Chains A and B, each alone.
Chain A
Amino acid sequence: GIQVEQSPPDLILQEGANSTLRCNFSDSVNNLQWFHQNPWGQLINLFYIPSGTKQNGRLSATTVATERYSLLYISSSQTTDSGVYFCAVLPSYNFNKFYFGSGTKLNVKP
């Protein structure tokens, strides 16, 4: 199946700092999503972004499908941004199965 790699695996930030999370994937995709898993375990949809750039408040994401990577930008980080960020892709050859990266664990300190 498709390989999905996220980096860095762990990230510690001081509140107010900016960061970039990366997701590389090994094959063409129909969909790419970013999720935030909060400390209670709930997965929150951040972006549906198979290509292009989107922004939502302090968060933005860019996917360059031809180069098989996506970036998630977090600006002016807050302690509530802490948690695990997952990238998930839906390969072009299998419309029914999402493949998840291993996640980036973010800890924002006050």
Chain B
Amino acid sequence: SAVISQKPSRDICQRGTSLTIQCQVDSQVTMMFWYRQQPGQSLTLIATANQGSEATYESGFVIDKFPISRPNLTFSTLTVSNMSPEDSSIYLCSVQTHNEQFFGPGTRLTVL
């Protein structure tokens, strides 16, 4: 299993600003994943982050809007840039070990 922490747990931001979300895992993992969950919806994968290489983004998500860093095997950050109210969501960090997926507690973002 894996224990994942995220910071901040929640935030309220003004439109046009940026927020960086941190994700820390208690063990070394090759890939980390970032998801978005809009209100009342299922989870949507934003990107996959490998250590030492550029993140791989899913269709509909771009690096300029959601830059990701992966400086080592236990840590990653996701930045939500130039925010608008449509970015109000829960953002979740996830890792996969032995084909099983584990999630962090999520960051609940509200953009005014």
A residues apposed to B, CB below 8 Å: 30-31, 33, 35, 41-43, 45, 48, 50, 86, 88, 90, 95-98, 100-103
Sample (6) of A-B pairs whose CB atoms are under 8 Å apart: A30-B99, A43-B103, A45-B101, A50-B99, A97-B45, A98-B101
- Residues from chain B with a CB closer than 8 A to the CB of A43 are 92, 103, 106
Asked whether A100 lies within 8 Å of B42 as measured between CB atoms, the reply is yes
The count of A-to-B residue pairs whose CB atoms sit within 8 angstroms is 47
- Residues from chain B with a CB closer than 8 A to the CB of A35 are 103
Q: Does B108 contact A (CB under 8 A)?
A: yes
Query: How many interface residues does chain B have, given as a range?
Result: 10 to 19
Asked whether A41 lies within 8 Å of B106 as measured between CB atoms, the reply is yes
Q: Looking at chain B's contact residues, is the secondary structure mostly helix, strand, loop, or mixed?
A: strand
CA distance A95 to B98 in the complex (A): 10
Chain A's nearest CB lies how many Å from the CB of B103?
Answer: 4
Q: In the complex, which residue of chain A has the Cβ closest to the Cβ of B41?
A: A102
- Residues from chain A with a CB closer than 8 A to the CB of B106 are 41-43
Best-surrounded residue of B1, B43, B103, B108 (most CB of chain A within 10 A): B43
Asked whether B42 lies within 8 Å of A103 as measured between CB atoms, the reply is yes
CA distance A97 to B101 in the complex (A): 10
Q: In the complex, which residue of chain A has the Cβ closest to the Cβ of B40?
A: A105
